[in-house]
Amino acid sequence: MRPVKPLGVLLLLLGLPTLSWAQTSDHLYRSWRWAFGVTSPRAAGMAGAFVSVAEDSSAGLLNPAGLALAPEAELAASGQVQAGATLEGRDALGRDAGLAFLSASLPVGPRWALGAYESRSRSVRLSLDPRPLADGSVDSGSLEASVAESGLAVAWTATSRLRLGARLGLERLDLEGMSLRTSASGEEELRVTTDGSSDRVSLGVGVLFTPNETWQLGVAARSRATWGLDRRATRPGGGGLEPDRRYRIRSPDAVSAGVTYRPASPLQVVGQLDYVFYREIRSILLVPRGPTSPGDYGIDDGLEVRVGVEVTPFLCEFCVKSHLQLRAGVHFQSAGALAYRGPEASEAEAFPGTRSRRSWAVGASVGGGELAVLWGGERTVWLVGWRLHL
Amino acid sequence: MTRAARGLAALAVAGLLGRGAWSAVTEPQVFVAFLGDSGSGDTAQKAVARQLDRLRDRLRFAFLLGDNVYYEGRPSRFDEAFLRVYSTLLRDPRGIEFHAALGNHDVKGCRVLTEDELPAPGLDGLPDDHRAYAWDERDCHVESHLREKAFGYVGGKRYYRVSVTAGAGGDGLADVFVLDSNTLSVKDRAFPTRSDGTQTAWLRRELARSSAPWRIVILHHPMQTPVAKGYLGIGGHGPERKLEEELLPILREGRVDAVFAGHNHFYARLRPQYGIRHFVSGGGGIPVYGFKRGSAPVESGGGFHHFVSVRLTPSRFEFCTVDRVGSVRDAGFWDKQGASGDLRHVPSRSLPACSPWNGRPSQPPGLSSRTPTATATNTTH
């Protein structure tokens, strides 16, 4: 058999087609970001810097190649509480709680491993702040959306240093939104409703390269789903009923590459770069009507840095008995939101763009329990989970 | 001649050549594993165990080099840190024997008896069983260790000899002398005592009686070791000079070939000292760390989880150090007839001790096809 060349696999991954969200320029989406949460508490505790660690059942989603490193069958479950928050533009994110992540892994012989996962990777309830724009009009409304992924993964140990993995999943989107624009005189100018709910197939591949015990490299690529949504709009003040439109919305695609450095196994330091392909959003942006054009909206690809650290103390009975692990991390998030760059003042107010920001994380494992807290990003998130080895 | 006929002819010739080479050698062999500081019960230990399991159809002995149950050796953790982790090996119907040495964490809550506390008046030295220890201010679990059959403390003794044979009734290929270094002259012991003269006298006597081709000593504390780097206050341990002073004359006199120790959480193979090869193998499961180069005559090593696979024949000692992901980190062999220090490195794929990790057959042409089926374990005190 011809040896597998890691460089070739890497090039293949980088050459995968890239997808991004599409959306409309309806103000309904003015605070929408394309950030996805990492819902495994262990990975989240390291701020998502996990593609080069990926040695437990959560690898099925985050880097399927890592399933081959899990030495035993494992079941994991976690829930999350997302705090409410007021965003930069004063729109509000509602509090949310629920199941976050389910995963399972099973080694099958010395070379193969299987995994399954269910992740609620995005869940938002946005309320638009009815603040007056430059032309005196006011937007109000809400947007509720959730994305849940479930799938199967397989990993193969190609050589003792190289592991390859792939996953096949279904991503479910449920989205419902309504916005209303009223003029300065209080007349209703535009009412937009949109909704959609469907399953789409998504794919992912990953590579883990372990040249020695000190270093481990990981690459993962995600090709996400594209859903169709319906848009209905009326302009009571002028124009009447707009034709119903169908538009696409896609989850963000990203290629992640990470490196894990273990100067000693009680300590691992992880660095990860995520390249998020945002720019295609502009090219497929649906601008239903009005003086603006897609060219007036801008969004740049994001190069996001994640750094995580995990410590495994072992110099006490409690530490060893409880398999205590402590984690921390930081995620430098790119803006990831549309910014209007045209002449319309009110549109510029609606889509000012967002700043890049830092999101911090801490986490711990004690016994089978796991906890992670993330703050500094869109909102504060608590994740609590349990991991069971069979 | 058609292509198919030519292929068949080539296969026949190759088969005849292979058979000739195969049958020409009738050396018995046995596969043995060494691993230390294993008893964490965590993912790393299970990963190492998973690699060890790949040797299961050949393995006949597994020697634990101490610290078999972290952190305080509690029996409540025997299952999590030992029995469950190696369950497939322990249940194997071919009978894989585990034999353990006591590490400092296995006797964490114990202290050694003082002169006044010796159980038998006039007894010249410490007992060879759990009675050598008493409870410290914490619980002492050494008796539970020695009585746990799966650990293989022969006769419930702290130190004992294991005769490693190839096949039922076969000649012994090696004698493995398992020591309790906690009661010897080690500097980090929590219990000040005089040296365990009874144990050293036993070792001298048993070595003199041994007629096996290979003599191997295992113990927890290393006489020869590089010094750990000491990340995050994790200091590791230096060489036990006084222990070496105490044991080296006995080992030289007894013509010991190799010493396997743990205690430091890394792998190191050192240059032979007086014809004795020292291995430090403390990466069986507990978190590992590296060591400072140049602090000892190290020939190979590093901070990684691992175990050492050894294949013994009457004339050859072959070793293969495998890490938790199945990479061969060190491999080689030396022959009994060879001069001291005559270690030879060959590609690991040609070593049967490494065969599960090379995807190669376990019995390459030129080696014995005899399969060891049973082993005799003796102890003499």
Q: Which of A69, A107, A264 sits opposite B231 (nearest CB)?
A: A264
Residue A13 confidence (pLDDT): 44
Residue B340 confidence (pLDDT): 54
Total number of residues shown for chain B: 381
Closest among B56, B32, B36, B54 to B45, alpha carbons compared: B36
The 8-class DSSP code of residue A58 comes to T
Q: What is the rounded distance in angstroms from the CA atom of residue A219 to the CA atom of residue A52?
A: 7
Residue in the structure block whose two tokens are 């193979």: B269
Interface probe with A: pick from B57, B325, B329, most Cβ of A within 10 Å? B325
Confidence bin at B30 (pLDDT 50/70/90): very high
Phi/psi of residue A179, nearest 5 degrees: -135, 150
Using the predicted structure, report yes or no on whether residue B374 has a pLDDT greater than 50. Answer: no
Asked if omega into B71 is within 30° of 0 (cis), the reply is yes
Q: What is the rounded distance in angstroms from the CA atom of residue A345 to the CA atom of residue A362?
A: 41
DSSP letters, A180-236, are EEE-TTS-EEEEEEEEEEEEEEEEEEEEEE-SSSSEEEEEEEEE--EEEEEEEEEET
For residues B288-321, b (16+ Cβ closer than 10 Å) or e, as one string? Answer: bbbbeeeebebbbbbbbbbbbbbbbbbebbbbbb
Confidence bin at B16 (pLDDT 50/70/90): very low
How many angstroms separate the CA of residue B80 from the nearest CA in chain A? 9
The 8-class DSSP code of residue B262 comes to -
Using the predicted structure, report yes or no on whether residue A92 has a pLDDT greater than 90. Answer: yes
Question: Residues of A with CB below 8 A from B331's CB?
Answer: none
Verify whether the Cβ–Cβ distance B303 to A265 is below 8 Å.
yes
Q: Which of B50, B232, B323 sits opposite A266 (nearest CB)?
A: B232
Q: Nearest residue on chain B to A68, judged by CA atoms?
A: B325
Using the predicted structure, report yes or no on whether residue A238 has a pLDDT greater than 70. Answer: no
Q: Which of B49, B287, B328 sits opposite A314 (nearest CB)?
A: B287
User: What are the start-end ranges of the H helices in chain B?
Assistant: 3-24, 43-53, 78, 87-90, 142-147, 197-209, 241-253
DSSP letters, B40-69, are T-SHHHHHHHHHHHTTTTTEEEEEE-S--S
Q: Are B88 and B53 in contact (CB under 8 A)?
A: yes
Confidence bin at B3 (pLDDT 50/70/90): low
Interface probe with A: pick from B43, B139, B321, most Cβ of A within 10 Å? B43
Verify whether the Cβ–Cβ distance B232 to A264 is below 8 Å.
yes
Residue in the structure block whose two tokens are 């072959």: B318
Confidence bin at A4 (pLDDT 50/70/90): very low
Q: Which of B74, B77, B287 sits opposite A265 (nearest CB)?
A: B287
Residue B192 confidence (pLDDT): 58
Verify whether the Cβ–Cβ distance B290 to A161 is below 8 Å.
no
Interface confidence (ipTM) of the complex: 0.74
Q: Are B307 and B281 in contact (CB under 8 A)?
A: yes
Using the predicted structure, report yes or no on whether residue A301 has a pLDDT greater than 80. Answer: yes
Interface probe with B: pick from A213, A216, A323, A325, most Cβ of B within 10 Å? A213
Burial label for A162, CB within 10 Å (0-12, 13-18, 19+), is buried
Question: Residues of A with CB below 8 A from B325's CB?
Answer: 69, 160-161, 210
Cα separations (Å) of A260 from A57, A268, A306, A371? 18, 7, 12, 21
Q: Are B223 and B248 in contact (CB under 8 A)?
A: yes
Q: Which of B50, B70, B232 sits opposite A267 (nearest CB)?
A: B232
Residue in the structure block whose two tokens are 């449920």: A174
B327 interface with A at CB cutoff 8 Å? yes
Residue B334 confidence (pLDDT): 92
Using the predicted structure, report yes or no on whether residue A241 has a pLDDT greater than 80. Answer: no
Instruction: Record the tokens describing residue A280, joined without a space.
Output: 């295609």
B292 interface with A at CB cutoff 8 Å? no
Verify whether the Cβ–Cβ distance B47 to A160 is below 8 Å.
no
Task: Record the pTM.
Answer: 0.81
Q: What is the rounded distance in angstroms from the CA atom of residue A306 to the CA atom of residue B92?
A: 45
pLDDT (average), residues A299-319: 90
pLDDT (average), residues A278-287: 69
Provide the mean pLDDT of chain B. 83
For residues B265-287, b (16+ Cβ closer than 10 Å) or e, as one string? Answer: bbbbbbebbeebbbbbbbbbbbb
Instruction: Record the tokens describing residue B34, joined without a space.
Output: 């060494």
How many angstroms separate the CA of residue A231 from the nearest CA in chain B? 50
B328 interface with A at CB cutoff 8 Å? yes
pLDDT (average), residues A133-158: 92
Verify whether the Cβ–Cβ distance A264 to B288 is below 8 Å.
yes
Contacts of A364 (CB under 8 A, 6+ apart): A45, A324, A325, A326, A327, A370, A371
Cα separations (Å) of A155 from A129, B41, B140, B379? 47, 24, 44, 47
Q: Are A283 and A295 in contact (CB under 8 A)?
A: no
How many angstroms separate the CA of residue B373 from the nearest CA in chain A? 24
HEC per residue, B287-333 = CCCCECCCCCCEEEEECCCEEEEEEECCCEEEEEEEECCCCEEEEEE
Q: Are A363 and A53 in contact (CB under 8 A)?
A: no
Verify whether the Cβ–Cβ distance A160 to B232 is below 8 Å.
no
Q: Which of A70, A265, A319 sits opposite B305 (nearest CB)?
A: A265
* Degrees to nearest 5, angle at CA B149 with B144 and B152: 105
Q: What is the rounded distance in angstroms from the CA atom of residue B102 to the CA atom of residue B251?
A: 19
Q: What is the rounded distance in angstroms from the CA atom of residue B261 to the CA atom of residue B259?
A: 7
Q: Nearest residue on chain B to A69, judged by CA atoms?
A: B325
B284 interface with A at CB cutoff 8 Å? no
Verify whether the Cβ–Cβ distance B325 to A212 is below 8 Å.
no
The residues with which A157 forms a beta bridge, in sequence order, are A163
- The chain A residues in contact with chain B (CB within 8 A) are 55-56, 69-72, 107, 110, 157, 160-161, 210, 212-214, 263-267, 311-312, 314-317, 319-321, 323, 389
Verify whether the Cβ–Cβ distance A71 to B46 is below 8 Å.
yes
Q: What is the rounded distance in angstroms from the CA atom of residue A289 to the CA atom of residue A286?
A: 9
Positive or negative CA dihedral for B361, B364, B365, B369?
negative
